Chain A
Amino acid sequence: MAYRNRVAVLGAGLTRFMRRALETPKELAFEAARAALDDASLEIDDMDAVVSVTAPDAFDGVHMNGEYLADGSGARGKPFMRSYVGGGSGVFGIINGWYHVASGHFDTCLVVGEEKMSSALPHPQGCFNAIYDQFLERPLGVNLLWIFSLEMNRYMTTHNVPMETFAKVAQKNKRNGMDHPSSQSGISGDYTLDQIMDSEVMAWPVQRLMVSPVSDGAGAMVLASEEFVKKRGLDPVWIEGVGWNLDTSYWTNRDLYYPRYVEKAARMAYEMAGVTEPRKEIHVVEPYDPFAYKELHHLEGLQLADKGEAPRLVEEGFWDRDTETGIPATPSGGLIGVGNPISAAGVMKVAEIFWQLEGRAGKRQVKRSVQRGLAQAWGDLMQVGTVVILGKQS
């Protein structure tokens, strides 16, 4: 496949993630975008185009929310495009930004992900009511936790995974999140396995401390072409591969134990990046973790473990931040340890890989040396996988 431009990442910025932000969505978008530009030592006039990602309009109660966010995202007078694939949006925004630059049409692109969930009353979960089939599912009273708990049960029963293994994933991510400056108050911490396993059952087998919170926040990244990078004599992190895939929305006709759309997205990205042995060539990974089981589910879809093997590797510490022989997974703390402002959380995952490869992750820096990493998100009606691979090689 021929692309006009190789695409580099020059900067990233995040707001703090919060349960209730005082800032408006526009203000959050501005804060993150400004931080990303500062991180790249660039100004808004250096940006040729802007990509926006934000999840359901219903959260903000603003129809065509991309247009509402445009000024805060630095898009005035520029080519502007919003993309939306539910929870997969944050990583998809980076893919869309990559497209803008790879096409040769733009030398630079600013990607801004924003989510403010807290304004919706009585609870933002209600905004999801309108995503299900209006004829055959909504009349049954379906809600978001139903479908995740159904998927988790299918996964844990198929592979006979003990609940304690999921608790260990939540424990790791909540500990990792303690070192993230954007971590939402009260989310990260040093929890015991008993505390996690004794937490309230929301929809069995899903429990309170194995779920990501409701969050407000924003994240942004600056992308640029090889020519732009060369002119400035930079030695940046590159986008080596992108992949995305959408499965059928007839989700009750699929076997939920395995995310084959994540596999397809990953294979697409690996092929583009020239990765033939992902378990050797991916050195750090940020799988999407809105629920503890999703991290393991996605690691298998990403081909970083065989089907049913990701839970066993938890017991070996294979996914821990200080592993020397494994693959550190979710060193940021993820959605469970930092927070889940949906589109911004996906951007945060790509930003973490960027900072890890640049050696700028501070206390979160993984122990093993890293030249290539992968971030993944997931969403829509449990059917979309979005994958970005970054690499540090000139």
Chain B
Amino acid sequence: MTDQALTQGEVFTTRWRGKMEYEWDTGAAVGRFMAGLKDGEILGLRCLQCKRTVIPPRAFCELCYVPMDRWTKLQDTGVINTFSVSFVNWDATRRETPEVPAVIEIDGASPGVGILHVLGEVGEDLETVVSRVAIGKRVEAVWKPAEEREGSITDIRYFKLID
């Protein structure tokens, strides 16, 4: 069947729009982490058994399968583990200026332990971004002003390269 058959009404269709809304409480571990972000801090959790310090936060160590509640303040700097230059939105429409998502290994967490975030101030086109950004480069968080922070991962606007 062609797109045209659908849009020109050559076949019968039925349409439904699901309206679904959820409100999630953030739970024990993520809740504490969010409170840290509101205060301008990145908090990690340490497992007393395997000695890993991890982020994103979770109330248990999935390796040792024991509770994990030793909070420790991490740095708001880190290293680019991997990155991408995306020209596609969630609905498959195209963007003129790219987003630059990255996995960032946070200083103070165990080696290889990172979070997803985005990079900023790295260029507005593919050539510029890939010439400036590379795996292994160091970055630092750019925070929202304290009065605008609300306990969200977006309290960090983005990470930027450390010159």
Contacts and interface: CB of A to CB of B under 8 A. Distances in A.
Interface of A: 18, 20-22, 61, 122-123, 125-126, 129, 133-137, 139-143, 145-146, 149-151, 153-154, 157, 201-206, 248, 250, 252-256
Given A140-B154, A201-B87, A252-B114, A146 B101 contact: yes
B91 interface: yes
A122 B62 CA distance: 37
Given A136-B115, A137-B116, A18 B86 contact: no
Given A20-B2, A157-B135, A150 B92 contact: no
A248 B102 CA distance: 19
A167 B2 CA distance: 29
Contacts of A250: 54, 56, 58, 62
A205 B2 CA distance: 30
Contacts of B3: 20
B83 A150 contact: yes
Contacts of A146: 84, 86, 99, 101
A154 B5 CA distance: 42
Interface residues of B, number: 49
B88 interface: yes
A24 to B, nearest CB: 11
B89 interface: yes
A154 B136 CA distance: 11
8 contacts: A20-B2, A125-B92, A145-B84, A146-B101, A154-B135, A202-B87, A204-B98, A252-B115
A249 B16 CA distance: 32
B152 interface: yes
A140 B118 contact: yes
What are the 8 A-B residue pairs with the smallest beta carbon separation, nearest first? A149-B84, A123-B92, A203-B86, A204-B85, A154-B82, A22-B1, A143-B90, A20-B1
B112 to A, nearest CB: 6
Given A18-B1, A154-B135, A252 B56 contact: yes
Contacts of B50: none
A364 B149 CA distance: 59
Interface string B49-66: 000001010100010000
Contacts of A154: 81-82, 103, 135
Nearest to B29: A135
B43 interface: no
Given A20-B2, A123-B92, A140-B116, A145 B86 contact: yes
Given A135-B26, A253-B113, A20 B6 contact: yes
Given A141-B90, A142-B101, A150 B26 contact: no
A27 to B, nearest CB: 12
B144 interface: no
A61 B20 CA distance: 12
